[in-house]
Amino acid sequence: MESQGEADVHAASAGDSAAFGRLYDRHVGRIRKVAQWTLGTSNVDDVVQEAFFRAWRKLHLFNGSATFSTWLNRLATNVFLRARKRSSRSRSSLVPLGEVASPPLSVVRRPDQKVDLERAVEDLPARARLVFVLHDVQGFLHREIAAQLGISVPASRSQLSRARLLLRRSFETEEEPS
Amino acid sequence: MTDAWTDHLSDYLDGELDQESHNGVVEHLEGCAQCRATLKGLRRIRDWASAYQPDAGNAREWRKLELRIRRRASLTVGLRVAALLLVGTGLATVVWYDSDRQGGEGMVGDTGMNPGAGSFASFEDTDYAVEIEALETLLRKRVKNLDPRTRQVLRESLESIEEMLARVREELVRNPQDDLLRELERRSNEQKLGLLRRALQRPQV
């Protein structure tokens, strides 16, 4: 039996914008956060919209060999990485994380573990954050990350290790053995 | 615990170590509570990341996107007519300022490509995307060296093609098996490729 998500993907492929709206609701939170982490800015409305618009236009290419979530995440990541390349040529257009109190960051922040970790990811050094997001959040392989970022595979692994160890410090107090 | 061991824990967690290093870490972990705690922390971080699901977005952003989607959809009829004209009559020309061809002054030319006989007929969508992106990257570096009129016509021509491509793809979402639309998408991609290539061959000023 087809799940609601699968039914929405089929309906959206046939042009049902309401079904695509439900897919949007289901995925936009994660996509938005990945955009913020990838680009290092809170100001991601345009690029997130571009990712979903591109997904809408390319839905006919989705063949179900991966999950819709995986397909969408990869498509969106490519959009974000291209935007990142463009923005690196005009760095002044980037607003560093933490300097903009735009939603949803300012709205969802609460003193709980989930948000503390989100914050800790934002505070990572840029390269380590990018590798962590691509590998651990988005599921890219090191060789894919290396190719995308123009770094070596060992460098990608090293940045991932650095990111995880820094994030782990967020829990140091409760994790350390007595 | 030492940095040397700590540096291996992330790779150990992902199964990225060779057998010898893997065995070394296993042996070390048996006697080092601190590294075991670190490994547990790293695993927790990795598991959190892979299952990460933040709060949902806001309705305002969806309304903006929905508006954009519907605006595209409303262009469908016009697109169909354009497709028939473009493919049926072979009038798929792109305005292109070509001072070399026109003896130093003047307008108009085509993309210099023969859409039906190009070597890109078998290109998949992703192939075009890769090729076009590479050419666009090159062009961004060189475009400032083109004369201003050429730059302007180039920009406008590319915008026209991109607009057509966007409309075609929008329509293809609804009619993925439509051969006419597929043909139009292919020809538009070829036009864009041809235009980018010719722009890169232009004399630099």
pLDDT of residue A104: 35
Interface test with B, best of A28, A62, A105, A131 (most B CBs within 10 A): A28
Q: Are B154 and B146 in contact (CB under 8 A)?
A: yes
Whole-angstrom distance, CA of residue B27 vs CA of residue B19: 12
**pLDDT tens, position by position, A98-143:** 333 333 333 333 345 666 788 889 889 999 999 999 999 988 899 9
Which residue, among A61, A27, A55, A53, has the nearest Cα to A138 in the 3D structure? A27
Look-up: residue for tokens 């070509």? B98
**Neighbouring C-beta atoms of residue B97, cutoff 10 Å:** 22
Whole-angstrom distance, CA of residue B7 vs CA of residue B11: 8
Query: In terms of pTM, does the model score above 0.80?
Result: no
Answer whether A137 touches B (CB < 8 Å): yes
**pLDDT tens, position by position, B188-204:** 888 888 888 888 887 76
Strand extents, DSSP E, B66-131: none
Which residues lie below 8 Å from residue B126, measured CB to CB, with a gap of 6+? none
- DSSP helix/strand/coil, B54: coil
Whole-angstrom distance, CA of residue A62 vs CA of residue A81: 21
Interface test with B, best of A121, A168, A172, A178 (most B CBs within 10 A): A168
Which residues lie below 8 Å from residue B81, measured CB to CB, with a gap of 6+? none
Whole-angstrom distance, CA of residue B52 vs CA of residue A138: 10
Please judge whether A17 and B16 are an interchain contact, meaning their C-beta atoms are less than 8 angstroms apart.
Answer: no
Share of chain B above pLDDT 70, in %: 68
Q: How close, in Å, is residue B106 to chain A by CA atoms?
A: 34
**pLDDT tens, position by position, B143-171:** 888 888 888 888 888 888 888 888 888 77
Q: Are B83 and B180 in contact (CB under 8 A)?
A: yes
Please judge whether B16 and A132 are an interchain contact, meaning their C-beta atoms are less than 8 angstroms apart.
Answer: no
